[in-house]
Amino acid sequence: MAFDIDMIQKVYAGIAERVDKAREVVGKPLTLSEKILYAHLWDGNPTEAFERGKDYVDFAPDRIACQDATAQMALLQFMHAGKPQVAVPTTVHCDHLIQAKVGADKDLKKANETSNEVFDFLGSVSNKYGIGFWKPGAGIIHQVVLENYAFPGGMMIGTDSHTVNAGGLGMIAIGVGGADAVDVMAGMPWELKFPKLIGVKLTGKLSGWAAPKDVILKVAGILTVKGGTGAIVEYFGEGAKAMSCTGKGTICNMGAEVGATTSTFGYDESMDRYLRATDREDVADAAREVKEYLTADPEVYENPEQYFDQVIEINLSELEPHLNGPFTPDLATPISKMKEAAKENDWPLKVEYGLIGSCTNSSYEDISRAASLARQVSDKKLKTKSNFTITPGSEQVRFTIERDGFIDTFNKIGATVFANACGPCIGMWDRAGAEKEERNTIVHSFNRNFAKRADGNPNTLAFVGSPELVTAIAISGRLDFDPLNDKLINEDGEEVMLDEPRGYELPPEGFAVEDAGYQAPAEDGSDVEVSVSPTSERLQLLTPFEPWDGKNITGARLLIKAHGKCTTDHISMAGPWLRFRGHLDNISNNCLIGAVNAFNMKTNFVKNQLTGEYGGVPDTQREYKAAGIPTIVVGDHNYGEGSSREHAAMEPRHLGVKVVLVKSFARIHETNLKKQGMLALTFDNENDYDLIQEDDTFNLVDLEEFAPNKPLTLEVVHSDGSKDVIKTNHSYNEGQIAWFKAGSALNLIAAAGKA
């Protein structure tokens, strides 16, 4: 039986009435996305039609999921809310703090030793507040959620940008910062700007070397990393119905890389099969009863241009395998064009590593298709030319693929099987030789490939592909290997070609697991003690941020003007810094150290306006804070792209930065800044970015009149005494302005709890 079946049945019991009312209010057929959104309004039955991309709306999500790196800060904030228990079903998953180095057993043992303090903290907080706890080794949050918690037509939020993976089971699942999660944990509404809608019509059917991964790689090339911002991507068509549930999850997972709020698919038989295969017959039966409410109205998919803001059509029968990268997930290259592209860009052709797995590609289907290629290494007398690793998505998947012989198959070609955790995908990879920073190429089936992302080496060129394409390239050892057309030379000197990958949608003998790694919370956690040592370097109780003093910000100095792409990885790096995710002051020592200074094109090297000398960003900012001088960060387009990590907002806030002014924001990061009481502003004229000089002083002259839809005026005073007055915009509503005035959204929650 499924977890939280009573909650799921309650959602289904009310969905028909709410959707029917929404259709009446909106006055036209509804997309699946609209059905789920209107069915989850905080105020109950719909009474008004919301304008996409404009109206802020309060929602009531069904559940919350947190991974261990972000859960620390989220739960530290929740402890301030004064609530005895979480208001909606919530889980914590320990998957980020396990470093990949040797292999699953040794790496997991080391993680339990080095991060024991954090795991104990998360386990005790979960036990106290009624939160389900998935222990280290249980699996990656998104795969575990898909196997246990996701359900068609539901709404969930999670403190990880790839929460969107659950769209593969027909959910609206959205990545958020910890403060958003705390709102819902505390029984409050969750606010979201009503999304725009992008429809992707999939015709034809995948075959041969093409995989679900290639769909999202193609879409990323079309939309770019910011083309989906503020929108839900809804997939439909015969091609969508012909695809497995986990394949759908892969597509939704990487939708985060186009900036989409989330992605989803309408309910179909593949979802029913997956629910039943994962022991959730009760959910499958309940979903069948309301299935017409778990997909779009027929008119929508028949005439999508009338109902979506943008429509993309992809013929799966013609779709070619892709490799995306390096350094950005939207640089899409069909495999037939890779020889030409690699030569033109001088990309190293030798592939050092092929890595498969991660939250986006670690299903039984993915692993079985990759294993079908691995078997050909011995069958065709080949040798694997690149290092090769596998990261299973969950203990259930790992146990099942071991039972079915796939791990033995991988071992025979010299592969390393890492723990059921994020590992290299998030930089938790102790790669030998990475410190030499040599230029090299790797291919992987992960979702992100920013510089330094996998191994900390800025000169590692990472390319994203399907598990089967990554496996084939690892066997060949070459980036430009096209398995559809290229031959390999075997040990006998013969030319051979790899056969097309074959696999199973679901395990023929069913899933199996001895210990999934789940720990249920105490029924009454009031007596559970949660202790945090004041001398800990890993955990630190939070001190509330100071409220706004009600005055204009004057005399602010520039901390850094970031050049080009500035993701949350640049603002708050992961990798070895993950160990400080529960200690705000310690992790603030990585604040913006990856951002490129526009004035010298160096990282972590900015001018200190107090001394005239150059130094690291955090050290410089700490000096400004000690001197009581406000500061501003300036950035380019899509600032804060990438992970949901709210540390990228909390660190500058903690260190005393007052304003972040950019050309445009990524959605989650903009919300995180607002939640933490920061000013998130955008240039009205993007060219004004060029006016900002290194020695400038800034005055926000009308902040005292801060109001919705009212631009703010920034006076930029240059070192020669001249000045530019520029117009800045914001998207704050009344409630968000209240967060700013209170110092943070959490301050308001805590105050309400004491009232």
Catalytic positions are: 95-96, 160, 448, 643, 645
Tell me the HSE value of 378 on the side-chain side, using a 13 A CA sphere.
Answer: 11
Q: What are phi and psi of 233, to 5 degrees?
A: -100, 120
Query: What are 458's two structure tokens?
Result: 């800025």
The DSSP letter of residue 274 is H
**Calculated CA dihedral for residues 338, 344, 345, 348, nearest 10 degrees:** 60
Copy the structure tokens of residue 40.
């989850």
The strand pairing partners of 192, in sequence order, are 57
Q: Distance (Å, rounded) from C-alpha 6 to C-alpha 142?
A: 22
Q: State how far the alpha carbon of 558 is from the alpha carbons of 610, 611, 629, 665, in Å.
A: 11, 14, 10, 19
The rounded distance, in Å, linking the Cα atoms of 236 and 313 is: 10
Residue 699 pairs with which residues in a beta bridge?
Answer: 715
Three-state SS for 463?
Answer: strand
Q: What is the DSSP string of 63-129?
A: EEEEEHHHHHHHHHHHGGGT-SS-SS-EEEE--SS--BSS-HHHHHHHHHHHTHHHHHHHHHHHHHH
Beta bridge partners of 132: 91
| Closest C-alpha among 259, 248, 157 to residue 202 | 248
Q: What residues contact 381, with CB distance under 8 A and at least 6 apart? A: 490, 491, 492, 494, 496
3 state DSSP class of 661: strand
- How far apart, in whole angstroms, are the C-alpha atoms of residue 174 and residue 37? 12
CA distance readout (Å), 142 to 33, 174, 233, 399, 749: 20, 12, 18, 17, 28
Strand ranges inside 585-694, DSSP E:
606-607, 614-615, 631-635, 657-662, 679-683
Q: Which residues are CB-neighbours of 312 under 8 A, at least 6 positions away?
A: 198, 199, 200, 201, 219, 222, 223
Report the candidate in 40, 260, 65, 74 with the shortest Cα–Cα distance to residue 183: 74
- Burial 167-190, CB ≥16 within 10 A → b, else e: bbbbbbbbbbbbbbbbbbbbebbb
How far apart are the C-alpha atoms of 502 and 248, rounded to whole Å? 18
Three-state DSSP at 394 gives strand
Cβ atoms 645, 69 nearer than 8 A: yes
Q: Are the beta carbons of 260 and 287 closer than 8 angstroms?
A: no
> What one-character DSSP code corresponds to residue 219?
H
User: Which residues does residue 313 pair with via DSSP β-bridges, in sequence order?
Assistant: 201
With vertex at residue 92, the alpha carbon angle to CA 90 and CA 93, rounded to the nearest 5 degrees, is 140
Q: Residue 494's Cα: distance from chain center in Å?
A: 45
Q: Phi, psi (5° rounding) for residue 734?
A: -60, -45
Scanning 278-363, the segments in alpha helix (DSSP H) are 281-289, 298-302, 338-345
Q: How many CB atoms lie within 10 A of CB 432?
A: 9
